[in-house]
Structure 1
Amino acid sequence: MSYTMWHALGEFIDNSTQSRTNYGSVIDQVLKEEGTPLVVEIIHDRIQRTITIRDNSVGMTRDRLEAALKIAMPTADSVGRSKFGMGMKTAACWIGHKWKVVTCEWGSGEEWTAIIDVDAIAFQGAKVPLTRTDVDSDGHYTRIVISDLHRNIQQRTEETIRGYLGSMYQFDIRRGALKLLYNGEEIPAPADYDFDTDPEGRSMRMDLPEKTIGGKKITGWIGVLRKGGRKFGGFSLFQNERQIQGFPNAWKPRRIFGGVDDEGANNLVAQRLTGAINLDGFHVSHTKDAILFQGDEEDDLEEFLAAVSDDYRKYANKRRGTKSNPWNRDKIRDLVDEMRNEFVNPEIGDALDNSLLPPIETLQQNEERQAASVTDEDKIASFQVSNDLTVIVSLQEKSEYEPYLSIAASATPGTVHIVINGLHPYYVDLDSTDAIDECIRQYIYDAIAEYRAGKLAGRINPSSVRRIKNDLLQVKALRVENAAEELQSGPMTVGTNSATAI
């Protein structure tokens, strides 16, 4: 399954919130008397390498637990956010080799535990043992403990997880129906939108008019942000008040946002036009991270939103004249002055004075060994930039003492590896998605420029690399302009060069 950690964890939150909805007549009054909302807590123990998800929902009896453990067998409870009968099992197996479920339904006085050893079941025909323990009849909970994890979760990833989960369940959190905790820290809903106003002082936000596509009702709103950014623009898609796709990778249909990829062009519309679209009844992927439009549904939705948002798009573009130039001399002077302490300090001086440079052959051999050590799991993406050049981007987490970056030619002709050391201390402070995005983008430009300079000149010269990189950076702006013209003149033709996720 092509999960991300936040979407995998979302499967368990879906089950907890849907269970509360299904058995609201029972658990709502219990929670009210206890003076608590529904609480879902995620605990990541980095030392023991376990992830625990626990809630105070209604819990399960033995029969319901057995039904929940059957793969792809929807039960009577499989509705709303939990409709495939797969989420808990696939997510838990994706996260770790072993997991267990401990649950008690309110009023039963019985706690049931199921222990799942994924490898033993898959390869040795093992069964799932169930054990019963007598407990207080007032107990109501489910606790899932996943161990022997497949992947490590770094601290910076945990910040991303909190951000995504807060956005995914913002409806529940805002109305007080859900309290979401990660390692004891409460996850808030995203900050309220700061909408722009028109010349008469009215908020640039409007509810969508009534619309039905394929027999399914479309609801939601659109708006123009006062201050935008590429990660803030776009439409967040919801189903059953649970975000399927949204911040910071919202849906940006090209007919509305332009561009040549799913992120849209980096223009004022893509940065400031936003909205939340409720798509109840539409098909979603098994990992619940994408709407799977059927037939003409996507085209019909784009056409509807393009018509509704036309005035807002024009308004967003009119604001270009009032936008301050971030590259003006005073701002750049202030920015560089703020960086002064980063470069003017005893530690930097010592590092320069004491640095030693091994022979160039040794450096090249080290980078080639780094590229050769890349595994399929390390590889993130492969870009076929031209007929004679493929760039493979990989992320390794071996040691904080390894180089922050390696760029090396592969044993395969025409292939260059970009190997990022995720444990390097420099990356710890890069907690902004935009900063990481630009960092990786520059690595790719550098790799392509170095490769081309080496092909043309036989050796890599810094001035030659910068000259070729300049040409590549100019292409980025030209590409956006060409795409905009193509959109206006007719259907877009997709280029032949491709980027393949690995």
Structure 2
Amino acid sequence: MMKIDDKVSIKIQTGVYGQFRNLNNKVWYALGEFVDNAVQSYENNKSQLKKIHDGQYTLEIKIEINRDKGFISIKDNAAGIGLDNYYRAFEPAHIPLNNTGLHEYGMGMKTAAIWLSDIWTVKTKALGETEERLVEFNLKKVIDEKKEVLEVIKSSVNVNDHYTEIWLKQLSQNAPSNNQLDKIKRHLASIYRNFIRSGELKLYINSELLKFNNPKVLLAPYYKDPKGEQRLWKQEIDYTFGKYSAKGFIGLLQTMSTSKENGISLFRRGRVIVGSHDEKYRPKVLCGQIGSPRYKRIFGELELDGFGVSFNKGSFIEVEDLEALMKAIKIEVSNESFDLYGQAEKYVKPKSNQHNLQVAKKLINSFKQSKIKDEVKEETPSYTVITPAEVAYQKEQLKEVKSIGSYVDKVPLKGNIYELKQEFITAPEIKSLYTLEILDNNNHTRKIVYKINLAHPFFSQFERFKRDSDYQPIVAIIKSLVLAELIAPEEGTLNAGNIRLNFNKFLTNV
């Protein structure tokens, strides 16, 4: 039978250990290394652990973070570090015998422990063995004395005992502060959600059992059929792309989110690599522009295979291939039979009667307050119709104004194609909120330019206009007014442009 000597090798150029402290890492990834080792120990010995506990066994990992007393402890009831992996556990970059699990590089525990502390100890008892082993690593001594081995303190214990206890002391500047605890809990609960949801893992931080709450999936009719049957907007994904594959789901959130629940969580070997808590993966090709309805609504979980990961398991290596995979998945969720992609962008949740009642009351109160202020004024603004001379003068002014951005959209309407060029200008001297010019009215394609003046007093009158999403409803209304004006003559309306001209005139006095 293999036996452990009185010493264990940590052979490496000892100066390298000091550099571990400077690695780019995050606290939850560092703590996750210890969790990974415990989970993998459980996975490798699941049947034996359940057998000796008569099937009444649950993996428990308890992390205590005490910055005031200057220590972090990680205790688990997994199968311990056995003889076959003991040397590898302490020698840097010594890859485990089985590297297909969560501890594949042979660097995790060492780099994480040194990143967080100057002194760390590992006490472990492996299932089926009769020896408990304790090792202490003192970073200063290792570097100063150029140590290549550490002493192993051994003692006899019951053969059925199984555990690992790790203590980190003399904490580094990388160690978490008390105000980081909540974020650490949320990230670790998110990273290990699969094991927590299955009931196989109980993970504690400072005695608090971590839980993961699944976001609610949108249950609603298709946006094109508001009165149709309700659907659960969640699509299963099982896609292979060369040597890569993705399994899981893409869904829509019941309630829009902009920071925590929206976005994709990417798994590998059962744990989250990218997309824990508030650091979700939000590829533009799938989630759209920041702040768009699609960005706020799409979420999902995907187990990836074939991708390599960084040393701290915080990112995937093949970035371009991952982006290509997301493009393929976008096509998967855009099919006509279940248009999840379109639903994400176009669905608008109906407002309840109670909500509308509250809005109406607030608007009325706001208008009443505004009327009180107006009554103080000496003169009431006159709503005079705009004159042809004013229209001509404005056209001359517009010739000098440069567009700051434009967008072309083709709209089929009443047997014609309207090529609408939407331009944005910023011109305080132009008194109109928007202007309209017909460039070509021949055949079935009609070219139109309408300009929206972002420097109009209307936008500065209300504090709400700050982000691009604040402007979107007004832009949509203006586009509708433009289309209404264009088709009005075909329906018998004379001088339809007067509505626009007077709208702009009245708006300056609202």
In the alignment, what sits opposite 1:75?
96
Q: Which residue of the other structure, out of 212, 220, 231, is the alignment partner of 1:202?
A: 231
- For residues 61-85 of structure 1, the C-alpha deviation after alignment (integer angstroms, 9 at most, x for no partner) is 3552221111111021332211111
CA distance in 2: counterparts of 1:328 and 1:154, whole angstroms: 45
What does 1:218-229 correspond to in 2, within 5 Å?
218-229=246-257
| Paired-residue identity, % | 27
- For residues 247-293 of structure 1, the C-alpha deviation after alignment (integer angstroms, 9 at most, x for no partner) is 3221111112233xxxxx01211111111111023111111111222
In the alignment, what sits opposite 2:380?
none
In the alignment, what sits opposite 1:301?
325
Q: Which residue of the other structure, out of 183, 198, 201, is the alignment partner of 1:178?
A: 201
Give the number of the structure whose residues are more often helix, by fraction: 1
Q: Does 1:282 align with 2:307?
A: yes
CA distance in 2: counterparts of 1:315 and 1:111, whole angstroms: 58
CA distance in 1: counterparts of 2:122 and 2:54, whole angstroms: 26
In the alignment, what sits opposite 1:477?
468
Q: Which residue of the other structure, out of 143, 161, 165, is the alignment partner of 2:188?
A: 165
DSSP-derived class of the 2:257 partner: coil
| Residues 61/201 of structure 1: CA separation in 2 closer, same or farther (3 Å cut) | same
Q: Which residue of the other structure, out of 110, 125, 148, is the alignment partner of 2:170?
A: 148
Q: Does 1:128 align with 2:153?
A: no
In the alignment, what sits opposite 1:266?
291
TM-score, normalised by the number of residues in structure 2: 0.61
DSSP-derived class of the 2:305 partner: coil
- For residues 379-413 of structure 1, the C-alpha deviation after alignment (integer angstroms, 9 at most, x for no partner) is xxxxxxxxxxxxxxxxxxxxxxxxxxxxxxxxxxx
In the alignment, what sits opposite 1:347?
none
Structure 1 position 314, deviation (Å): 1.4
Q: Does 1:11 align with 2:40?
A: no
In the alignment, what sits opposite 2:343?
315
Q: Does 1:90 align with 2:111?
A: yes
What does 1:315-394 correspond to in 2, within 5 Å?
315-320=343-348, 322=350
| Residues 2/479 of structure 1: CA separation in 2 closer, same or farther (3 Å cut) | farther
Structure 1 position 476, deviation (Å): 5.0
In the alignment, what sits opposite 2:17?
none
Q: Are the equivalent residues in 2 in contact too, given 1:233–1:269 (CA < 8 A)?
A: no
| Residues 476/141 of structure 1: CA separation in 2 closer, same or farther (3 Å cut) | same
Structure 1 position 332, deviation (Å): 13
In the alignment, what sits opposite 1:251?
281
In the alignment, what sits opposite 2:242?
214
Letter in 1 for 2:123: V
DSSP-derived class of the 1:279 partner: strand
In the alignment, what sits opposite 1:60?
81
In the alignment, what sits opposite 1:189?
212
CA distance in 2: counterparts of 1:136 and 1:52, whole angstroms: 23
Structure 1 position 192, deviation (Å): 4.7
In the alignment, what sits opposite 1:239?
268
Q: Are the equivalent residues in 2 in contact too, given 1:113–1:131 (CA < 8 A)?
A: yes
CA distance in 2: counterparts of 1:312 and 1:158, whole angstroms: 37
- Alignment gaps of 5+ in structure 2: 1-22, 222-227, 363-459, 473-510
| Residues 48/332 of structure 1: CA separation in 2 closer, same or farther (3 Å cut) | farther
CA distance in 1: counterparts of 2:243 and 2:39, whole angstroms: 27
CA distance in 2: counterparts of 1:234 and 1:281, whole angstroms: 22
Letter in 2 for 1:177: E
Q: Are the equivalent residues in 1 in contact too, given 2:52–2:160 (CA < 8 A)?
A: no
In the alignment, what sits opposite 2:127?
106
Letter in 1 for 2:286: I
In the alignment, what sits opposite 2:370?
none
| Residues 333/147 of structure 1: CA separation in 2 closer, same or farther (3 Å cut) | farther
- For residues 337-368 of structure 1, the C-alpha deviation after alignment (integer angstroms, 9 at most, x for no partner) is xxxxxxxxxxxxxxxxxxxxxxxxxxxxxxxx
Letter in 2 for 1:95: L
Structure 1 vs Structure 2 CA RMSD: 3.1
CA distance in 2: counterparts of 1:315 and 1:211, whole angstroms: 21
Q: Are the equivalent residues in 1 in contact too, given 2:268–2:305 (CA < 8 A)?
A: yes
DSSP-derived class of the 1:222 partner: strand
In the alignment, what sits opposite 2:317?
292
Q: Are the equivalent residues in 2 in contact too, given 1:98–1:148 (CA < 8 A)?
A: yes
Q: Are the equivalent residues in 2 in contact too, given 1:31–1:38 (CA < 8 A)?
A: no
Letter in 1 for 2:206: N
| Residues 321/43 of structure 1: CA separation in 2 closer, same or farther (3 Å cut) | closer
Q: Which residue of the other structure, out of 63, 75, 87, is the alignment partner of 1:42?
A: 63
DSSP-derived class of the 2:231 partner: coil
Length, aligned pairs only: 339
Q: Are the equivalent residues in 1 in contact too, given 2:217–2:232 (CA < 8 A)?
A: no
CA distance in 2: counterparts of 1:205 and 1:476, whole angstroms: 30
| Residues 22/36 of structure 1: CA separation in 2 closer, same or farther (3 Å cut) | closer
DSSP-derived class of the 1:125 partner: coil
My pick for the range that moved more, 126-135 or 7-16, is 126-135
| Residues 318/92 of structure 1: CA separation in 2 closer, same or farther (3 Å cut) | same
- For residues 23-67 of structure 1, the C-alpha deviation after alignment (integer angstroms, 9 at most, x for no partner) is 22322323445x230111101123321111011111123552221
Structure 1 position 473, deviation (Å): 10
Structure 1 position 189, deviation (Å): 1.9
Larger radius of gyration: 2
CA distance in 2: counterparts of 1:50 and 1:63, whole angstroms: 30
Structure 1 position 313, deviation (Å): 2.5
- Alignment gaps of 5+ in structure 1: 260-264, 335-468, 482-502
CA distance in 1: counterparts of 2:361 and 2:158, whole angstroms: 67
Structure 1 position 298, deviation (Å): 2.2
CA distance in 2: counterparts of 1:331 and 1:11, whole angstroms: 51
Q: Are the equivalent residues in 2 in contact too, given 1:213–1:297 (CA < 8 A)?
A: no
| Residues 236/203 of structure 1: CA separation in 2 closer, same or farther (3 Å cut) | same
DSSP-derived class of the 1:18 partner: helix
Structure 1 position 95, deviation (Å): 0.8
TM-score, normalised by the number of residues in structure 1: 0.62
